[in-house]
């Protein structure tokens, strides 16, 4: 296949895939999250998957299932049945040991190859910011499933897994057609390739820099730093391949959840309250107050006392404690939202998600507790229902909604009538305060004296002035 034919084939398949997603979103009324629509970025992923023996999917330890893409694992198996996918659970040092144990049991139950890892801790050890002896003691005290791997341990594990995959492929090709696959067998014997894929801002480039031992790829907090895949030779037998981060399409998450998890850039968000609400829903109230040294307003009397704080309450309390004020004198919620989300992503605000099994058990426990509290409350109501008539009215239950609506309608009608009644005397008082007009003098008009109705014309005759004659002569 020529380059032009490959380009046309990839563009056609990509267009068909995009149309199928749009058809699902339109016909089934599904909400599709933002995803990568640039075919050049997808081509980087395709090339990495094609040349990799072991595909490492880097995920965040605080919510591994959110960053995992099962369809990518299926696609790798379609290309080569011997390819395997490993979950590299990054930022595992942010999880307590008991939560890490639950996730390890979940991965083992679902036959998911996984390794716990912390790129930040490994980089700190390389830069001599922390002592390596402390890390070795912690790793030795745990079993192989829950321990956080070090740099050398992870390199050995990746190389061992890739070698086993290459050996299986070599055995199958020798059995199948030795002559046609002689070139591929020789290339596999030279080195094995480990490809790193995943969402943006999950730590792929940081992991590769820690494994290499020096900065080979750019690292930043902004998602999408890596634009093209690159290969790095670790040894004569191992080669790493870094792929740009891709946002895979999903029907389960929302755009605000993707912003709060760092998949989408924080600086480009337009609605900050929705993203901060995700943080307020996941982190307990007392933890937020302790971290930021603030006091959040308590729920109202008619609200549930266990409800999480709203985004507006959290942002205003944060602005009041830090003095963030905008030009109009209002709290600068945008600045506060960006700082809170960055703290949430960097791990300053502790949070984590439980495996689905643990979440279901916790839900059942909460439902059982709620039912028990409801039964206790109903028993208490029945026992106290005969104390007094007033208590009977209170314990009887919430009022009917129709009665409430009827009361509201009568209240509105009464308020409208009173408003009209108040407006009328107000208007009359304005008329009374007007200055009375003077009566015009119409005495000159013709009276009812049997006249023809014509206007009366009064003629004033100017008297003649008689002045004595003055004789003017020249002899004066």
pLDDT in tens, 197-208: 988 888 888 888
Q: What is the pLDDT of residues 112-153, one digit of tens each?
A: 999 999 988 888 888 775 444 444 434 444 577 788 998 888
The better pLDDT of the pair 90, 29 is held by 90
Three-state secondary structure of the chain:
CCHHHHHHHHHHHHHHHHHHHHHHHHHCCCCCCCCCCCHHHHHHHHHHHHHCCEEEEEEECCCHHHHCCHHHHHHHHHHCCCCEEEEEEECHHHCCHHHHHHHHHHHHHCCCCEEEECHHHHHHHHCCCCCHHHHHHHHHCCCCCCCEECHHHHHHHHHHHHHHHHHHHHHHHHHHCCCCCHHHHHHHHHCEEEEEEECCCCCHHHHHHHHHCCCCCCCCCCCCCCCCCEEEECCCCEEEEECCCCCCCCCCCCHHHHHHCCCCCHHHCCCHHHHHHHHHHHCCHHHHHHHHCCCCCCCCCCCCCCCCCCHHHHHHHHHHHHCCECCCCCECHHHHHHHHHHHHHHCCCCCCCCCHHHHHHHHHHHHHHHHHHHHHHHHHHHHCCCCCHHHHHHHCCCCCHHHHHHHHHHHHHHHHHHHHHHHHHHHHHHHHCCCCCCCCCCCCCCCCCCCCCCCCCCCCCCCCCCCCCCCCCCCC
Q: How confident is the model at residue 473 (pLDDT cuts 50, 70, 90)?
A: very low
The better pLDDT of the pair 146, 61 is held by 61
Q: What pLDDT, on a 0 to 100 scale, did the predictor assign at position 276? A: 93
Residue 458 reports pLDDT greater than 60: no
The predicted model gives 439-466 an average pLDDT of 56
| Nearest-angstrom CA–CA distance, 274 and 255 | 9
Q: What is the pLDDT of residues 221-260, one digit of tens each?
A: 455 455 567 888 888 888 888 888 888 887 767 788 888 8
Q: What pLDDT, on a 0 to 100 scale, did the predictor assign at position 284? A: 92
pTM of the model: 0.67
Q: What percent of the chain stands above pLDDT 90? A: 22
Q: What is the pLDDT of residues 349-385, one digit of tens each?
A: 998 999 987 554 555 554 444 444 443 444 444 444 4
Question: How crowded is the C-beta side of 365, counted as CA atoms within 13 Å?
Answer: 6
Q: What is the pLDDT of residues 390-446, one digit of tens each?
A: 444 433 445 455 555 555 555 444 444 444 444 444 444 454 556 666 666 666 555
Q: What pLDDT, on a 0 to 100 scale, did the predictor assign at position 100? A: 92
The predicted model gives 458-463 an average pLDDT of 56
| Nearest-angstrom CA–CA distance, 113 and 115 | 7
């Amino acid at each position: 296949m020529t380059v032009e034919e490959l380009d046309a084939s990839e563009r056609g398949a990509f267009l068909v895939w995009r149309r199928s997603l749009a058809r699902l979103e339109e016909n089934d009324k599904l909400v599709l999250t933002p995803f990568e629509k640039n075919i050049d970025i997808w081509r980087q992923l395709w090339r990495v998957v094609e040349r990799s023996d072991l595909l490492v999917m880097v995920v965040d330890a605080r919510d591994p299932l959110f960053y995992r893409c099962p369809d990518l694992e299926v696609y790798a198996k379609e290309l080569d049945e011997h390819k395997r996918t490993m979950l590299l659970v990054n930022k595992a040092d942010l999880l307590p040991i008991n939560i890490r144990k639950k996730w390890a049991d979940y991965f083992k139950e679902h036959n998911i190859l996984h390794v716990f890892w912390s790129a930040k801790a490994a980089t700190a050890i390389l830069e001599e910011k922390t002592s390596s002896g402390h890390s070795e003691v912690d790793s030795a005290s745990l079993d192989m499933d829950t321990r956080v791997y070090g740099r050398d341990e992870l390199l050995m594990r990746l190389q061992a897994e890739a070698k086993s995959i290459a050996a299986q492929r070599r055995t199958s090709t020798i059995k199948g057609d030795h002559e046609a696959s002689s070139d591929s067998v020789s290339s596999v014997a030279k080195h094995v390739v480990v490809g790193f894929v995943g969402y943006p801002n999950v730590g792929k480039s940081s992991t590769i820099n820690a494994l290499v031992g020096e900065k080979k790829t750019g690292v930043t907090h902004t998602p999408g730093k890596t634009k093209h895949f690159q290969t790095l030779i670790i040894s004569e037998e191992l080669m790493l391949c870094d792929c740009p981060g891709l946002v895979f399409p999903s029907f389960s998450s929302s755009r605000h959840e993707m912003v709060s998890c760092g998949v989408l850039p924080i600086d480009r968000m337009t609605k900050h309250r929705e993203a901060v609400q995700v943080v307020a829903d996941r982190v307990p109230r007392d933890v937020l107050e302790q971290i930021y040294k603030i006091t959040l307003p308590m729920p109202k009397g008619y609200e549930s006392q266990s409800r999480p704080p709203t985004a507006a309450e959290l942002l205003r309390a944060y602005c009041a404690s830090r003095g963030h004020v905008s030009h109009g004198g209002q709290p600068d919620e945008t600045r506060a939202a960006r700082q809170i989300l960055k703290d949430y992503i960097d791990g300053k605000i502790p949070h984590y998600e439980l495996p689905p099994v643990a979440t279901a058990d916790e839900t059942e426990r909460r439902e059982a507790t709620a039912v028990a509290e409801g039964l206790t409350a109903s028993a208490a109501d029945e026992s106290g229902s005969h104390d007094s008539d007033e208590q009977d009215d209170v314990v009887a239950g919430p009022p009917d909604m129709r009665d409430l609506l009827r009361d509201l309608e009568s209240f509105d009608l009464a308020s409208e009538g009173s408003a009209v009644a108040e407006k009328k005397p107000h208007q009359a008082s304005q008329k009374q305060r007007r200055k009375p007009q003077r009566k015009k003098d119409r005495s000159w008009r013709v009276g009812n004296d049997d006249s023809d109705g014509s206007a009366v014309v009064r003629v004033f005759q100017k008297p003649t002035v008689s002045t004595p004659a003055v004789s003017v002569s020249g002899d004066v």
